C-alpha cells in the first residue's frame, strides 16, 4: 500500500507519524490536533491525521494535506497502522477503480448516464469502528458504509436492508458486494445525475451531504426520516413535472427559467447546501 505523502515530514513516511501527532499547515500555521478534530468538516476528536478523509484540506487556508508538517511526534515510537486505517486507504480506491470499469464496460452509453462526470470517492473517513463516505458515479451518488475490521459481511445477501444511525438521523441502506473491496451498505442520494452540470458541482454537493450527515442540527424530533425522505422525493418529482409542463407551454421562456430547488434527501442531510439551481463553478 502506498503511504500518504506528507511534504517535509519524515521524508514522506506517514507510518512514522503517531496517532497523537499534531501537524501544522506550513502555509497559514493552522495546527491539526487529533484530540480536537475538525469541527468544520465534522471530524470527531480522536481522529489521527493519517485517518482524515483523502480530500481533507486545511480549514483555515484550504491548503493541501501534504503541506502539513509534524510538530509533535515521536520518531522512536512510530504508530502501528491499524487494519481500519489500511481499509480507509485501500477500499475507496478499490471501489473507484471497480465502478470506473462498470462505467467503461456497461454504463457509458446508457441514456441516464452523465458523461461529463467521473467516478470519485469523496469524504471517506473512520466512523466509530466502520468507514463511511460518498461514491460519486456518472449515473448515481451513494453514501457507503464499509464494515469494521472485525465484521464479517460475506454471508449477507445482496439487497439486505439495514438502518444506520448518524448524528442527523436514521437512514436505510441496502447491501451490495463489489470485489475486490468486498461488501458494503449503500444509501442512494441521487439515482440520476443528469441535473449536474459539472464534476465540481457534484463533488461540492457530495461534500455538503457528508458534512450534513454528521451534523446534529439536521436531526428532527422523529429521528426515523424514511417518511420525510419519501414525501420530499414525491414533492420534487411533482415540481419537476410542473416545470416540464411549463417548458412545453412556453418554449420561448425556457432559456431564462431555472428549476427551483425543492426539499429532497440531499437537502435533509446537507442543511440546504446542496443547491442545484446553478453551477458553483459559474461566476
Average pLDDT over residues 108-132: 90
Give me the DSSP letters along the chain: -PPPP-TTSGGG-GGGS-TT-EEEETTT--EE-TTT-BTTTTBPTT--GGGS-TT---TTT---GGGEEEEE--TTSPPPPPHHHHHHHHHHHHHHHHHHHHIIIIITT-TT--TT---EEEEEEEETTEEEEEEEETTEEEEEEEPPTT---TTPPTT-EEEEEETTEEEEEEEEEETTTEEEEEEEEES--TT---HHHHHHHHHHHHHHHT-GGG--SS-B-HHHHHHHHHHHHHHHHHHHHHHHH-GGGTTT--PPP---HHHHHHTT----SS-TT--
What's the pLDDT score for residue 173? 95
- 89: pLDDT confidence band, cut at 50, 70 and 90? confident
Q: Does domain 82-283 have CATH number 3.40.50.10540?
A: no
The answer, yes or no, to whether residue 238 has pLDDT greater than 80, is no
| pLDDT above 90 as % of the chain | 31
Q: Does domain 10-72 have CATH number 3.40.50.300?
A: no
Domain segments of the chain as ranges: 10-72, 82-283
| pLDDT above 70 as % of the chain | 68
The answer, yes or no, to whether residue 224 has pLDDT greater than 60, is no
For 21-39, the pLDDT digits (tens) are: 888 888 888 989 888 888 8
Amino acid at each position: 500500500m502506498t503511504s500518504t505523502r506528507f511534504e517535509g515530514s519524515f521524508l514522506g513516511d506517514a507510518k512514522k507519524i503517531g496517532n497523537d501527532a499534531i501537524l501544522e499547515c506550513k502555509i497559514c500555521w493552522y495546527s491539526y490536533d487529533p484530540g480536537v478534530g475538525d469541527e468544520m468538516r465534522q471530524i470527531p476528536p480522536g481522529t489521527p491525521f493519517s485517518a482524515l478523509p483523502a480530500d481533507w484540506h486545511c480549514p483555515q487556508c484550504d491548503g493541501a494535506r501534504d503541506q502539513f508538517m509534524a510538530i509533535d511526534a515521536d520518531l522512536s515510537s512510530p504508530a502501528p497502522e491499524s487494519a481500519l486505517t489500511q481499509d480507509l486507504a485501500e477500499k475507496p480506491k478499490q471501489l473507484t477503480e471497480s465502478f470506473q470499469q462498470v462505467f467503461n464496460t456497461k454504463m457509458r452509453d446508457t441514456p441516464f448516464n452523465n458523461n461529463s462526470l467521473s467516478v470519485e470517492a469523496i469524504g471517506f473517513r473512520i466512523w466509530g469502528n466502520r468507514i463511511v463516505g460518498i461514491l460519486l458515479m456518472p449515473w448515481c451518488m451513494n453514501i457507503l458504509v464499509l464494515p469494521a475490521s472485525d465484521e464479517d459481511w460475506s454471508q449477507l445477501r445482496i439487497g439486505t436492508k439495514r438502518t444506520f444511525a448518524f448524528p442527523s438521523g436514521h437512514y436505510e441502506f441496502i447491501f451490495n458486494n463489489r470485489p475486490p473491496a468486498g461488501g458494503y451498505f449503500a444509501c442512494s442520494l441521487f439515482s440520476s445525475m443528469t441535473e449536474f452540470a459539472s464534476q465540481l458541482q457534484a463533488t461540492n454537493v457530495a461534500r455538503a451531504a457528508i458534512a450534513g450527515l454528521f451534523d446534529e442540527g439536521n436531526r428532527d424530533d422523529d429521528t426515523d426520516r424514511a417518511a420525510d425522505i419519501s414525501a420530499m422525493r414525491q414533492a420534487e418529482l411533482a415540481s419537476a413535472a410542473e416545470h416540464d409542463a411549463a417548458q412545453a407551454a412556453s418554449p420561448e421562456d425556457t432559456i431564462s427559467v431555472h428549476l427551483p430547488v425543492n426539499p429532497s434527501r440531499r437537502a435533509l442531510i446537507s442543511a440546504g447546501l446542496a443547491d442545484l439551481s446553478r453551477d458553483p463553478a459559474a461566476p
